[in-house]
């Protein structure tokens, strides 16, 4: 393990995070608030970052092991230092609460320990939601766009952090791919802000909710989330953009380069849209009796389906009060998640689709033992190693989920609260059911449970293996 290069990359990321904090600090100054929580944090990160970047020169060897180790380490450090403005502000009860809230932001989960959001300083709330925007495309994707400054190959960082079973660069150079991704990401965010402003939402609120939508995170500056506005136009705009940010960003690149037909042929895209449409129809019928008109029921169902399958976590109503069928559908959507290569979490639609096709192929081989069955995605056959990796990931995902639920179960909450708290964190959704529903929060959990749930969020965001590498004894060996 080339620790010098690993910590140089980590230090460079701290400098990027420190630069990002200048924006919420400017917001705090604009509203006449105390900027010192940001100043102190920026000073600490700049000193440590500069010491790491310029004080740890050595070999530039950077391979897969260094890439996975760096990704796990950097995401933990981003949460550790990103929590400092909350801690220095004195608005939080403990540093564990600050860490939980920050990790929830960067991993775009949206779970919160806050019971009264609207009383917090606007600068802190801006930073809280801005972590969604930074974490949505990935702090490291931004970093890799700048890494040529250090003379380090960033390919292994992108491979380790990019969500989904199939990872590919948009163009030959990894740093150039990162810039294209961020340009698309920024463009969609600006369009959403403009749409919300035209619809009448204040600029500050438009930015907060666009950050939450872009990162599919769901932090709001209102206690009742999007439902606080009672505005159907806001809900429709946010529903559309939650779905847009749930799609693989490579599809947008294909569209921009004139390959529209190729983008529309995506198996994962069709599967995602089909599941979303079917869930919306079923849920609309199931909850119709709870609304005065069918239009209201359809709008509420569409918003909540988009919110959960995109793993955003915004809410317009308390779905804890909905019929059991709708609640179970939402839990299933939490598990499925968004598309690979998007800002969303969950298992990813591509994995679910491959698993279903593998099951179908296995059934066909039993019925026709002499037939040759091939599992395909987008018309291309998948290798045995790819399918094996998907099944390994899925099994590990489930094992970690139940192991975490056992630890969180020590807090003695109900089964529904405990299990959905873990599922919503590892799937990066935000709200669960019962005590952690859309009108609840995670404040009552013990510090141990909050730390476990925080790592569930990181594990879900990084798709497990970078964190497992970080805690692997063999990864710490130099050779």
pLDDT digits (tens, 9 = 90+) for 84-112: 999 999 999 899 999 999 999 999 999 99
pLDDT digits (tens, 9 = 90+) for 188-235: 999 999 999 999 999 999 999 999 999 999 999 999 999 999 999 999
Whether residue 151 is predicted with pLDDT greater than 60 in this model: the reply is no
pLDDT digits (tens, 9 = 90+) for 28-86: 999 999 999 999 999 999 999 999 877 766 555 666 667 777 778 888 999 999 999 99
Residue 418 near residue 93, CB atoms below 8 Å: no
- Give percent of the chain above pLDDT 70: 88
Q: Could you tell me the end-to-end alpha-carbon distance of the chain, in angstroms, rounded to an integer?
A: 6
Tally of CB atoms within 10 A around 40: 14
Report the alpha-carbon distance of residue 407 to residue 411 in Å, rounded. 8
Report the alpha-carbon distance of residue 23 to residue 19 in Å, rounded. 8
Q: Which of 154-158, 173-177, 202-206 has the lowest mean pLDDT?
A: 154-158
Residue 167 has a pLDDT of 47
Residue 158 has a pLDDT of 52
Report the alpha-carbon distance of residue 454 to residue 448 in Å, rounded. 10
151: left (phi over 0), alpha (psi -120 to 50) or beta: left
Q: What is the DSSP string of 129-176?
A: HHHHHHHHH-HHHHHHHHGGGGT---HHHHHHHS-SS----SSSSHHH
């Amino acid at each position: 393990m080339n620790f010098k290069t690993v910590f140089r990359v980590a230090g460079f990321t701290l400098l990027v995070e420190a630069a990002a904090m200048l924006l919420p600090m400017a917001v705090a100054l604009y509203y006449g608030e105390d900027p010192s929580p940001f100043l102190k944090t920026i000073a600490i990160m700049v000193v440590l970052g500069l010491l790491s970047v310029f004080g740890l020169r050595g070999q530039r060897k950077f391979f897969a092991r260094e890439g996975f180790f760096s990704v796990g380490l950097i995401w933990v450090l981003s949460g550790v230092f990103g929590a400092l403005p909350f801690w220095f502000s004195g608005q939080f009860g403990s540093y564990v609460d600050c860490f939980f809230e920050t990790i929830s932001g960067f991993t775009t989960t949206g779970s919160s320990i806050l019971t009264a959001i609207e009383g917090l300083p606007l600068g802190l709330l801006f930073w809280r939601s801005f972590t969604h925007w930074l974490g949505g495309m990935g702090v490291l994707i931004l970093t890799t766009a700048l890494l040529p400054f250090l003379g380090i190959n960033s390919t292994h960082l992108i491979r380790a952090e990019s969500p989904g079973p199939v990872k590919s660069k948009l163009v030959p150079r990894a740093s150039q791919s990162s810039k294209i991704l961020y340009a698309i990401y920024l463009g969609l965010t600006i369009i959403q802000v403009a749409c919300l402003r035209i619809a009448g939402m204040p600029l500050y609120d438009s930015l907060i909710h666009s950050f939450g939508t872009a990162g599919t995170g769901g932090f709001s500056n209102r206690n009742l989330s999007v439902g606080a506005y009672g505005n159907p136009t806001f809900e429709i705009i946010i529903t559309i953009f939650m779905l847009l940010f749930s799609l693989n960003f490579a599809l947008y690149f294909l569209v921009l380069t004139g390959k529209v037909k190729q983008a529309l042929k995506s198996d994962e895209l069709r599967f995602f849209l089909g599941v979303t449409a079917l869930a919306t129809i079923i849920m609309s019928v199931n909850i119709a009796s709870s609304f005065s008109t069918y239009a209201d029921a359809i709008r509420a169902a569409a918003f909540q389906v988009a919110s959960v399958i995109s793993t955003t976590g915004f809410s317009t109503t308390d779905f804890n009060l909905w019929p059991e069928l709708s609640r179970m559908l939402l839990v299933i959507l939490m598990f499925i998640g968004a598309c690979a290569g998007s800002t969303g979490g969950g298992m990813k639609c591509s994995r679910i689709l491959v698993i279903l096709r593998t099951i179908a192929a296995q059934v066909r081989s039993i019925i026709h033992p002499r037939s040759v069955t091939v599992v395909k995605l987008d018309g291309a056959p998948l290798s045995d190693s790819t399918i094996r990796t998907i099944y390994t990931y899925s099994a590990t995902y489930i094992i970690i989920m139940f192991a975490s639920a056992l630890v969180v179960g020590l807090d003695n909450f109900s089964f529904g609260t405990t299990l959905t708290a873990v599922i919503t964190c590892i799937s990066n959704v935000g709200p669960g059911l019962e005590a952690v529903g859309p009108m609840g929060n995670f404040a009552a959990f013990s510090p141990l449970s909050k730390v476990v749930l925080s790592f569930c969020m990181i594990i879900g965001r990084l798709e497990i293996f970078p964190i497992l590498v970080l805690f692997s004894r063999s990864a710490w060996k130099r050779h």
